Amino acid sequence: MENQPKIDIRTSPFIRKAPSVAEIMRNVVYALLPIACYAVWQFGLSALVLMITTVLACIATEHMFCKLSNKKTTIGDASAIITGLLLAMTLPPGFPLWMGAVAGFTAIAMGKTLFGGIGFNVFNPALVGRAFVQAAFPVSITTWTPALATNRFVEFIPSTLALPFMKPAPTAEWTTQVTIDGFSGATPLALMKFQGVMTDTYDLFIGLSAGSTGETSSLLILICGAYLIFKNMLDWRIPAAVILGTVISAECFHLLDATKYPTSAFMVFSGGLMFAAVFMASDMVASPVTPMGILVFGLLVGFLTVIIRLFGGLTEAVMYAILFGNAATPIIESYTQPNIFGYKGKKKP
């Protein structure tokens, strides 16, 4: 038997047709780019350098950890770029760059590598990074600057270039210089919650309001999401379920007391809900795979978002709702295994 040629035999199926993981991730990056460009147009240079910083931090961290554990580097699959972009989108545009780098590092280190890399992360890594800096730098992360500031393309928002561990320069004075009418430094959600002021839904839809870097134009987000759905690289059921969950919950409260609780349209188009629903909740790895589970997950995220927004102290509720949903994913999955063909009328064993 020594001279037998070695025959490499595959077993069926011999044909496959699936985009590779890297291909999917690349397309998600493409879908995020228009949103990133829009953010730069809205918020100027600061937003641009912030995105570059977080993306580079994510890539560097992933590469470093792969090298440390003697594995082939996995930055080729572009998922670190996504994490970096997603992260930047959830931060205020004037977020100090060094803090952005810290956020990027934590996202990959604690959100991904700790669990064993892509495929094993329990949470959406970008949200882990975001949650970390929310706790570490509570002031900077709630310092909002207005969109369309007059000189946004020629100078940075003062806080952007803060030195590590130094208190960032205050932005209040800068804000009054660059805006025409009075800007209170509050996002539509904060306005609603703390001052009872409702921002026009149309403004929200187009994205002309203060907010995190990329989370403001619902319309653009929907278009980019549609591109991914069309390419079969995004599971439309997740965003749909999240939005549905939000609408149902918000509508219930609105019906209870219309003066106190905002309409469902406001809820859906404000505070990055759309962005989170389309790009964050749909993180494949950290969401359920079972059809029923996807629905439950989405409804849960939507419901929690509304509850935290209305009753919690945080306006960026959707992030926490998703993290919670991620944590609940294994439980949801174990209760929502699909019904197997051929068991109709039979008891599930």
Partner 1 sequence: MNLFNFFGKKTFSHGIHPEGFKEETHDHQTRRLPFAEQLTLPLSQSVGKPPIPIVHIGQQVQRGELIAKANGFMSVPLHASVSGTIKKIDLVPNAATGDKEKAIIINTALSSPQTSIQGTYQEFEQLSRDELIQSVQDIGLVGLGGAAFPAHVKMNTPKDHHVHTLIVNGCECEPFMTTDHRIMLEQIEYLFRGMGIIMKAVGAKKAIIGIEDNKLNVIEAIKPHLPKDGHITIEAVATKYPQGAGKMLVYSLMGIEIPSGHRSTSIGVIIYNVATLASLGELFPYRQGMIERVITITGDNLNKPGNYLVPIGTPLSHILKYAEFTGNEAELILGGPMMGIPAGFLNTPVKKSTGTVLVLDKRSSKDSDISPCIKCSMCLQACPINLNPSELGLLATKRKYDVMEDQYHLKDCFECGCCSYVCPSNIPLVQYFRIAKTLNRERYKQEET
Check binding of 66 to partner 1 (CB under 8 A). no
CB 66, min distance to partner 1, A: 14
CB 339, min distance to partner 1, A: 6
Check binding of 285 to partner 1 (CB under 8 A). yes
Q: Which is nearer to partner 1, 9 or 166 (CB)?
A: 9
Binder of partner 1 out of 3, 20, 70, 259 (CB under 8 A):
20
Stretch that binds partner 1, among 4-12, 144-152, 198-206, 272-280 (CB under 8 A): 4-12
Stretch that binds partner 1, among 102-110, 177-185, 311-319, 334-342 (CB under 8 A): 334-342
Stretch that binds partner 1, among 115-123, 160-168, 197-205, 210-218 (CB under 8 A): 115-123
Check binding of 62 to partner 1 (CB under 8 A). no
Binder of partner 1 out of 1, 2, 16, 138 (CB under 8 A):
16
Q: Which is nearer to partner 1, 122 or 265 (CB)?
A: 122
Nearest alpha carbon to residue 40 among 170, 176, 149: 149
Check binding of 339 to partner 1 (CB under 8 A). yes
Check binding of 166 to partner 1 (CB under 8 A). no
Check binding of 287 to partner 1 (CB under 8 A). yes
Q: Which is nearer to partner 1, 41 or 236 (CB)?
A: 236
Stretch that binds partner 1, among 12-20, 135-143, 197-205, 214-222 (CB under 8 A): 12-20
Check binding of 344 to partner 1 (CB under 8 A). yes
Positions touching partner 1 (CB under 8 A) are 7-21, 23-24, 77, 117-120, 235, 284-291, 294, 333, 337-346
